[in-house]
Amino acid sequence: MNETSKTKKTSKVRVYVDLFFFTLMVLVLIPQTTGIPLHEWASFIIILPFFLHLIINWNWIATNSKKFFQRGSNKTRFDYVLNWTLYFFMIVITVSGIVISEAALPVFGIHFEPDPFWTKIHNLSATLFMPVFGIHIALHWRWILGAFSKFKFKSDLHHLTEVGTIISKRMLQLLLLICLSIVLSLTVYLFEFSEWAEGFRTSAESNSGQEPGGPGMGWMRYVLPLVKVTVLTGVPALIAGGIIRLKRKLRGKEIHS
């Protein structure tokens, strides 16, 4: 019963963490709506629930890392690869966001020169992140519905005291994730000195001033980013969800035939 109680508490914490992470993610993905300062500060804060989400699900990560090359569920293997893809995109988005920071880092006296290469990488990785994130949500939709159907925001709030316990129990794993993230971040940053980056900068400079400009579109400039996030995240999620439901129906027919 003690172990069951701990699992239940961790599950409640996970709901809060994932809800906080999702809210921040929406804010981070619509900088034109929120403004650059809020976008950048939210981008730094989101690292906390992101790492916490990973260590809460560490048992799943460890188990499927060991079983990846063994025979098993293709859905689980696909989910595993997808999760690491999300992790990689988070690293790229964070590194490129730091390098092009206009509001957060200058507060601490840290200034970077504007770089069209990192701006392009940041925008591209954020755009690619959206459909992958949508598919991730679709794969876990049953858990999301089940967790929120049993979730009571006020009465479950006390479970957040378990965050400290989870971190202390998973401190080694957290340090491992931090070290891995630092190494991967430095690797991504080294692309700044590549010939590919230099060629991109040269191309961007030669095309500077050729892009059409004009006055803002009023309220539309605040709504369109939300539409973009909804479409790029929602459509892949709906397609993935449809495929999952179709496969379940076909599997059910095979069992009953």
- Asked if pLDDT for residue 207 goes beyond 70, the answer is no
Q: What pLDDT, on a 0 to 100 scale, did the predictor assign at position 257? A: 62
Residue 101's H or E segment, with its range, is: none
Q: What pLDDT, on a 0 to 100 scale, did the predictor assign at position 60? A: 92
Contact 185, 96 (CB under 8 A): no
Sign of CA dihedral 176, 182, 188, 190: negative
In this prediction, residues 47-72 reach a mean pLDDT of 90
- Asked if pLDDT for residue 160 goes beyond 50, the answer is yes
Per-residue model confidence as pLDDT tens digits over 232-245: 999 999 999 999 88
Domain residue spans of the chain: 2-196+217-256
Q: Name the CA radius of gyration of the chain, rounded.
A: 21
Q: What pLDDT, on a 0 to 100 scale, did the predictor assign at position 1? A: 47
Q: What pLDDT, on a 0 to 100 scale, did the predictor assign at position 213? A: 47
Contact 2, 10 (CB under 8 A): no
What pTM does this model have? 0.87
For residues 238 and 141, give the distance between their C-alpha atoms in angstroms, rounded to a whole number: 11
Tokens of 37: 């300062």
For residues 257 and 251, give the distance between their C-alpha atoms in angstroms, rounded to a whole number: 10
C-alpha to C-alpha distances, 152 to 86, 156, 220, nearest whole angstrom? 29, 6, 36
Angle at 132 (CA atoms; ends 8, 60), nearest 5 degrees: 30
Least confident span in 109-118, 198-207, 218-227:
198-207
Least confident span in 113-122, 140-149, 151-160, 186-195:
151-160
Angle at 136 (CA atoms; ends 131, 141), nearest 5 degrees: 120
Per-residue model confidence as pLDDT tens digits over 60-113: 999 999 888 887 778 889 999 999 999 999 999 999 999 999 999 999 998 888
DSSP assignment letter at 190: G
Q: Which one has a higher pLDDT value, 213 or 170?
A: 170
In this prediction, residues 114-143 reach a mean pLDDT of 93
b/e map 176-208, b = 16+ CB within 10 Å:
ebeeebeebeeebeebbeeeebeebbeeeeeee
Whole-number mean pLDDT of the chain? Answer: 87
